[in-house]
């Protein structure tokens, strides 16, 4: 899995004995000594941050599961009991709850970084696809988890999302009943959601192992986006440890500080107050909105006038990510050297934020209050309905039209011969590629 030649030399007798039977120490040592391009910037630290997010969610989740009651009569009160009567329970629960948001902050940055630097292109397609699977599993896990406190948004969120399945022609209705464990969302639904919410994080963990395996096989991409030939490895690469453990570590601590500000000073800022009202199937909340990280996809769902069409569009929005490596026709990986594409990329990022904003608004509300407007098909032009539709159009056009077309037409900038060139003004101007601690230690 290490993907590079092993440099591990067993020292003690036990290590030698173990190395011929189960080379687990070698595995760990090789994992940590992976040659890594030395020009990775802070956008590349989110992979490490994400692994800590996953471990944090699993660890806090295991403790929450010791106290949580998956029963419609008791779930709400049991979550509150955790925060009131369990030692440190408020911390565990708020970390888990805000941890989901932090996980998505990190994963969106991680994905946008991959998109910008072309980290999905050959030979790294499998890393990207596995990442897309992780993202999809994360959405599913977050949705299932949001239902567990059994507040108003939990219940009605589950109602809206499971109803999507009912929109599938012919098989929709029976599948819906099968999914919910009955004709309505009830105790059976809560129990299976709890079971799956506990299962999926371990599936994610497994796919993360594959994601890293693929990464260690094809090697890290880098901001310049060129493959580093074998003979330049010594000059352009540094071992992962200590160079990137310390850099990732620093970024992680800054990230944890932001995390801590939410957990300790504004733990409910990212949630919806309605979820502190116990679920009531007889009272529909005024606005049913998902958590912020699902809003762009919720917006796409609502952009399509047909219910089933909306479901297809929403899943397609995630599905199209899977084929991204084959939609991009450019031979250049990094958008650093693709000035035209860079502009479309920036618009894509802003467009994603607009989609998220639209997802939280009422479709009929005016975007610019008071601006004159006219009716277009089934709504006013100056409404979130049409803004959402235009944004959805750009989202899909970016992948399906812009990426293939611009890749063929654009003239990229001159690409450096090596990753050292942009720094040192010459491919072979080398100074400190020899690990510094080797000199210091002696």
Interface residue list for another protein (CB under 8 A):
38-39, 77, 80-81, 83-84, 90-91, 94, 152, 160, 238, 242-243, 246-247, 249-250, 253-254, 256-257, 260-261, 263-265, 267-268, 273-274, 276-278, 280, 282-288, 362, 364-365, 420, 423-424, 430-433, 436-437
Count Cβ neighbours within 10 Å for each residue of 133-156 and write b for 16 or more, e otherwise: bbbbbbbebbbbbbbbbbbbbbbb
Nearer to another protein, 276 or 315 (CB): 276
Nearer to another protein, 78 or 392 (CB): 78
CB of 85 to another protein, least distance (A): 8
Nearer to another protein, 166 or 201 (CB): 166
What are the DSSP E strand ranges found in 195-313? 237-239
Identify the CA nearest to 434 among candidates 229, 220, 239.
239
Nearer to another protein, 284 or 329 (CB): 284
Q: Using CB atoms within 10 A of its CB, is residue 180 exposed (0-12), middle (13-18) or buried (19+)?
A: buried
- Is residue 224 within 8 Å of 334, Cβ to Cβ? yes
CB of 348 to another protein, least distance (A): 28
CB of 213 to another protein, least distance (A): 26
Q: How many CB atoms lie within 10 A of CB 391?
A: 24
What whole-number distance in Å separates Cα of residue 97 and Cα of residue 59? 13
Nearer to another protein, 130 or 289 (CB): 289
Tell me the Cα Rg of the chain: 25
CB of 202 to another protein, least distance (A): 28
What whole-number distance in Å separates Cα of residue 149 and Cα of residue 116? 37
Nearer to another protein, 123 or 305 (CB): 305
Identify the CA nearest to 317 among candidates 400, 408, 209, 404.
400
What whole-number distance in Å separates Cα of residue 384 and Cα of residue 402? 24
CB of 148 to another protein, least distance (A): 16
CB of 320 to another protein, least distance (A): 28
CB of 114 to another protein, least distance (A): 20
Q: How does DSSP assign 4-64, residue by residue?
A: S-------SHHHHHHHTT--HHHHHHHHHT-EEETT--GGGGHHHHHHHHHHHHHHHHHHH
Nearer to another protein, 22 or 254 (CB): 254
Nearer to another protein, 187 or 217 (CB): 187
What whole-number distance in Å separates Cα of residue 215 and Cα of residue 125? 10
CB of 78 to another protein, least distance (A): 10
- Beta bridge partners, 375, equal 380
- Cβ contacts of residue 33 below 8 Å, gap of 6+? 4, 7, 8, 239, 240, 241
CB of 133 to another protein, least distance (A): 32
Nearer to another protein, 77 or 196 (CB): 77
Q: Which one-letter DSSP state was computed for residue 413?
A: P
What whole-number distance in Å separates Cα of residue 182 and Cα of residue 174? 10
């Amino acid at each position: 899995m290490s993907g590079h030649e092993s440099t591990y030399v067993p020292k003690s007798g036990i290590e030698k004995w173990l190395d011929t039977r189960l080379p687990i120490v070698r595995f760990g040592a090789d994992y940590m000594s992976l040659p890594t391009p030395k020009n990775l910037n802070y956008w590349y630290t989110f992979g490490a941050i994400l692994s800590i997010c996953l471990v944090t969610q699993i660890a806090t989740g295991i403790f929450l599961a010791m106290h949580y009651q998956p029963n419609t009569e008791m779930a709400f009160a049991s979550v509150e009991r955790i925060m009131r009567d369990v030692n440190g329970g408020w911390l565990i629960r708020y970390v888990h709850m805000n941890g989901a948001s932090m996980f998505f902050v990190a994963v969106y940055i991680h994905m946008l970084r991959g998109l910008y630097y072309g980290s999905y292109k050959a030979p790294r397609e499998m890393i990207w696809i596995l990442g897309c699977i992780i993202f999809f599993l994360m959405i599913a896990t977050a949705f299932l988890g949001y239902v567990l406190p059994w507040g108003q948004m939990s219940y009605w969120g589950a109602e809206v999302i499971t109803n999507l399945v009912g929109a599938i022609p012919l098989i929709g209705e029976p599948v819906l009943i099968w999914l919910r464990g009955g004709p309505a969302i009830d105790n059976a639904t809560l129990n299976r959601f709890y079971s799956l919410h506990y299962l999926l994080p371990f599936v994610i963990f497994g796919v993360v192992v594959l994601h890293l395996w693929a990464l260690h096989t094809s090697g890290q991409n880098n901001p310049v986006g060129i493959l580093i030939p074998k003979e330049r490895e010594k000059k352009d690469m540094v071992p992962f440890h200590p160079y990137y453990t310390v850099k990732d570590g620093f970024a992680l601590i800054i990230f944890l500080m932001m995390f801590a500000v939410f957990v300790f000073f504004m733990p409910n800022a990212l949630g919806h107050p309605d979820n502190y009202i116990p679920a009531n199937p007889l009272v529909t909340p005024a606005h049913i909105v998902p958590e912020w990280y699902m809003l762009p996809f919720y917006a796409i769902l609502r952009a399509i006038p047909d219910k089933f069409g909306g479901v297809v569009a929403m899943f397609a929005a995630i599905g199209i990510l899977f084929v991204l490596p084959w939609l991009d026709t450019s031979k250049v990986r990094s958008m650093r050297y693709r000035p035209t594409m860079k502009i479309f990329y920036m618009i894509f990022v802003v467009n994603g934020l607009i989609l998220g904003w639209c997802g939280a608004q009422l479709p009929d509300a005016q975007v610019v209050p008071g601006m004159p407007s006219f009716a277009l098909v089934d709504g006013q032009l100056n409404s979130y309905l049409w803004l959402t539709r235009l944004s959805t159009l750009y989202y899909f056009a970016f992948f399906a039209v812009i990426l293939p077309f611009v890749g063929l037409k654009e003239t990229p900038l001159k690409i450096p011969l090596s990753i050292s060139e942009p720094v040192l003004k010459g491919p072979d101007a080398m100074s400190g590629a020899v690990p510094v601690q080797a000199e210091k230690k002696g």
